[in-house]
Amino acid sequence: MAPLLLQLAVLGAALAAAALMLISIVAFITATKMPALHRHEEEKFFLNAKGQKETLPSIWDLPTKQLSVVVPSYNEEKRLPVMMDEALSYLEKRQKRDPAFTYEVIVVDDGSKDQTSKVAFKYCQKYGSDKVRVITLVKNRGKGGAIRMGIFSSRGEKILMADADGATKFPDVEKLEKGLNDLQPWPNQMAIACGSRAHLEKESIAQRSYFRTLLMYGFHFLVWFLCVKGIRDTQCGFKLFTREAASQTFSSLHVERWAFDVELLYIAQCFKIPIAEIAVNWTEIEGSKLVPFWSWLQMGKDLLFIRLRYMTGAWRLEQTRKMN
């Protein structure tokens, strides 16, 4: 009996090794090159409050604002106003308290099929194009790709990515700012503060089915095992970057859809960029575009392929690249 069990164990290990090798080969062969940092001609401009075209700035220009807020939006005409009202109310009150504080909000319409751009442009007309700008992408790039386009058009010393659904309370940006400052001195002026919902995990588990809870724990394990150590919540869409950290990490990003956050933090850890994880107030908002099982399955595959592609050299980290 013992020799048979040993033979089965050896056979199982051999099959597992062969499967891993096959998957590694597939990951290497199917690896796409770094997405071209390219704008379509229509994406090089934004409309000012009068509806006139103006050329977008570049992240490689010197910053002229203290804070840029980048809001990726895909078919968000219904949820976007709630987020924008809260964000702009906070930012305007903060500017009144401190006239030296300057900001901009950049809404990136990721090829929406609804009226997202028109809804966002109303805020540009109300607050002026120095404070609110709308970038309308020619085609859908994915959340990571949309954020990158916004970041590469930003003017802030610090850059916040914030979801259009308004799930995170916007004033919590002050918590991220404190977390960022606590990381000083910043190596090469690079640091990141990640909003986190990990402190809400027990409450969320009580409201979820056992199946969704199992999927969540499985995803967290894969993130830790394959890519990112020490960050409990990689997926919260509320992250604050120094300008230098944003340009370095997003210039090196390959994944433009759901798992982009994980690769982004993997890149940051490879570059030894300090990262703070900060608890934020968060409420689940209806209208999520994640389909529980299939989205988690896709992200699990993406995590494995991210790790294998870096391990096999199919993907390599590069220094900052400029957009054409």
- Count: domains in the chain: 1
pLDDT of the residue at 267: 96
Domain housing 189: 44-312
Q: State the Cα–Cα distance between residues 91 and 110, nearest whole angstrom.
A: 24
Helices (H), strands (E): how many in the chain? 10, 9
Give the pairing of strands 239-242 and 156-161.
antiparallel
The CA distances from residue 187 to 52, 158, 192, in Å, are 40, 15, 11
Q: State the Cα–Cα distance between residues 235 and 237, nearest whole angstrom.
A: 6
Which DSSP letter does residue 276 get? E
pLDDT of the residue at 201: 59
**By C-alpha distance, which of 249, 230, 161, 240 is closest to 193?**
240
With a CB cutoff of 8 Å and minimum separation 6, the contacts of 72 are 108, 110, 143, 146, 147, 150, 161, 163, 164
User: Does some domain include residue 167?
Assistant: yes
Instruction: Say what the pTM is.
Output: 0.86
User: Does some domain include residue 37?
Assistant: no
The series of mean pLDDT values per 10 residues for the chain, 324 residues long, is 56 52 55 68 92 95 97 96 97 97 98 96 97 96 94 98 92 96 95 88 52 71 88 92 96 88 95 95 68 69 88 80 63
The dihedral sign for the CA sequence 100, 167, 163, 121: negative
CATH number, domain of 282, equals 3.90.550.10
User: Does some domain include residue 17?
Assistant: no
pLDDT of the residue at 248: 95
Residue with tokens 């859908």: 140
| Tokens read off for 35 | 């997405």
Long-range contacts of 284-291 (CB under 8 A, 24+ apart): 284/167, 284/204, 285/79, 285/165, 285/166, 285/167, 287/78, 287/79, 287/165, 288/165, 289/74, 290/258
pLDDT of the residue at 12: 53
Q: State the Cα–Cα distance between residues 275 and 10, nearest whole angstrom.
A: 42
- Contact (Cβ atoms closer than 8 angstroms) between residue 216 and residue 223: no
Q: SS3 of 239, please?
A: strand
In degrees, to the nearest 5, what angle opens at C-alpha 138 toward C-alphas 135 and 143? Answer: 65
pLDDT of the residue at 205: 43
pLDDT of the residue at 198: 78
Count Cβ atoms within 10 A of the Cβ of residue 208 and give its class: 0-12 exposed, 13-18 middle, 19 or more buried. Answer: middle
User: Does some domain include residue 117?
Assistant: yes
Alpha carbon 319 to its chain centroid, in Å, reads 19
